[in-house]
Amino acid sequence: MTKNWGKTWLRYERKNTQLRYFKCLGLGNINEENEIIKNAISELEMGLQGILNVLWEKKIYVTSFAKIQEKDIFVIRMQCSENLHDGGYHIWEKERLYLEASTECGILYGIFDLLRMLSLGKDLAGIDVVRNPEMPLRMLNHWDNMDGSIERGYSGASFFFQKNEILAGKRTCDYARMISGVGINAIVINNVNVMGEAKKLITKKHMRKLNELSTILDSYGIKTFLSLNFMSPIDIGGLDSADPFNDEVRAWWKGIMEELFKNIKGLGGFLIKADSEGRPGPYLYGRTQADGANMLAKIIDPYHGIIIWRCFVYNNMQDWRDYETDRAKAGYDNFNHTDGEFLDNVILQIKNGPMDFQIREPVSPLLGSMRHTNQMLEVQLAQEYTGQQIDLCYLVPLIKEVLEFRTYHAPKDTVADIISGKAYGNHNTGIAAVSNTGDSVYWTGNPLAALNLYGFGRLSFDPGLTAEEIADEWIRLSLTSEEKVVSRIKKIIEGSRETYEKYTSPLGIGWMVMPGEHYGCCVDGYEYSRFGTYHRADHLGIGVDRTKKGTGFVKQYHEINCQKYDDISTCPEELLLFFHHVPYTHLLKTGKTVIQHIYDAHFEGVDEVEHMIELWEEIREYIETDVWEEVSGRFRKQLYNAKEWRDQINSYFYRKSGIKDAYGRKIY
């Protein structure tokens, strides 16, 4: 098959929408030579020709909006306004169609939104909308290695790197178009686990090609970030220390940063994973996480650079016999006491849950608990623990739950309030997602997994959108606008997270996956490991006691949430086993016992996958053949996987408990 990089939501297919505003283009106070504006106008021309079959009769370039006299005209202008933030825009119709923004990126996002509305067949008569991005930083973290592999990559090889060289070309442009089209404004191009040749990305050897790549991204309003190896002064600098208080170390970093910012256009800063999973950091020298982050932040502050410091720090050598140490507590314990110690150009990047991207976790208690520290949320689109882009799993509902979670730490207290800066008045905040893209024809391997990428971008710009609205948009833009087909695909997609949860992890327990690979069932795979990932099941019950009388994890939350989780009668049952160890005979609010819920959920999960396949079969004639067949093949694998989970989980807990299924179904 010929690779077609155009299989995205930027299809610009012909619509019957009638508009009369595009005979002339008025550019008021806009520098048409600006690269972002060039790309924005090019996108507009391409989109209008594809959607409306409109060709430009004439272009009018004016320096004063007042001089525009033509009647049938679309006016674009830049103007400072208190109502428009960086990247914000105003679209309205009053005899003419107008787009106004205060920055070039606002023009770009406004044009993408206009084309999205036209592609969806919306009537623009009388439209008057002001849209500002809620999150200052809207980022994708790529875990790409320079040899071309991708850690936790399920969509082919890297399109940034190959054979230890940097790639920059049409694929890069297509990618930049695609993600800027949903409002992404920053990406980290290399793996947080900086290995091999990637350690040398910050040297002169790669600067020319890095600048070429970054320049392309910058022309779509996307800042380039690099993952940084904290031990670089030793690994590539020849020093005998990486101590952030060492003068030689500081001088070495100062020289490196001066060269990087001088030679790479659009360089935004660096992402750092330190003191985590065997990667050394400031703890090695008796320094705090703030000491390590601030050393680098101070050096790059003159270049307006940002240090993003991951909070994924925990003891990965835990003894499974230890019932007091709790990995869930580690993020809070390592960072909360340093609130106010980080410089203003440091952002702490915090995973959505206290463990590691499970299908169901509580929201990390670290989010919102640090009033004087910049924070950003980290989620994972690469489905490491959620089906690896084989099993369908719509993740936008999960992200929405996190964004809407009330922390009770401030008057504006949701996670969305905190990472948008509304809660504490921070400016360096945002949201990041581990990317799910590769060099696959469909970008995300499974064509349906592109919905998670699209949805993340849309949510990062406008967290008020619902999961249903986002799914509807993406289906119509990417697959079909045939109403009966749209409704069937929505049925397949919208319950897919719950379906996956049913046949994998009951009641918030998580982790029962194949070690290392993280795909497929292995109930005790991590039960005796060093990673602190336990379900604590025995012949009487299951779950981890994280109450005040257990590990005490609940005490890291604000008192309102602490009490809710600590009390078994108010703890949300979908998280019951995350917070409580209960007997198999414990009664749920449904009237079922825990063991019966486990049996029922796993049988239901398989049934629901079979129903997904039936719905997909029904719409075969309406979907492009290659897309339909690719998804069908993955559904077959998902069904096999779901049956394995069902049979292994149910058999395991039947053998543990000795309690039979109330309906007498086959359990081995």
* Token representation of residue 408: 């009770």
Given the DSSP bridges, would you call strands 58-62 and 73-78 parallel, antiparallel or unpaired?
A: unpaired
Intra-chain end-to-end CA distance of the chain, in Å: 43
- How far is CA 442 from each of CA 328, 381, 622, rounded to the nearest angstrom? 36, 15, 18
Question: 67: burial class by Cβ within 10 Å (0-12, 13-18, 19+)?
Answer: exposed
Q: Is 344 a catalytic residue?
A: no
CA–CA dist 436, 433 (Å, integer): 9
Residue partners of 245: CB distance under 8 A and separation at least 6: 285, 287, 291, 295
User: In DSSP terms, which residues pair with 406 in a beta bridge?
Assistant: 414
Out of 104, 113, 356, 391, the active site residue is: 356
Q: Report which residue type is found at 63.
A: T
DSSP state of 434: E
Is the separation of the CB atoms in 341 and 290 below 8 Å? yes
Out of 326, 384, 391, 630, the active site residue is: 384
Out of 32, 240, 277, 610, the active site residue is: 277
- How far is CA 358 from each of CA 24, 310, 363, 387, 531, rounded to the nearest angstrom? 52, 18, 11, 11, 14
In the three-class reduction of DSSP (H, G, I as helix; E, B as strand; rest coil), residue 318 is classed as: coil
Closest C-alpha to 447, from 613, 170, 632: 632
Chain centroid, CA 488 distance in Å = 26
- How far is CA 466 from each of CA 21, 433, 462, 463, rounded to the nearest angstrom? 31, 18, 10, 8
b/e sequence 433-444, b meaning 16+ C-beta within 10 Å = bbbbbbbbbbbb
Is the separation of the CB atoms in 474 and 454 below 8 Å? yes
Is the separation of the CB atoms in 286 and 242 below 8 Å? no
CA–CA dist 416, 414 (Å, integer): 5
H or E stretch covering 601: helix 594-618
Q: Is 574 a catalytic residue?
A: no
CA–CA dist 485, 86 (Å, integer): 38
Q: Is 356 a catalytic residue?
A: yes
CA–CA dist 499, 602 (Å, integer): 9
* Token representation of residue 297: 């932040």
Q: Which residues are catalytic?
A: 277, 356, 384
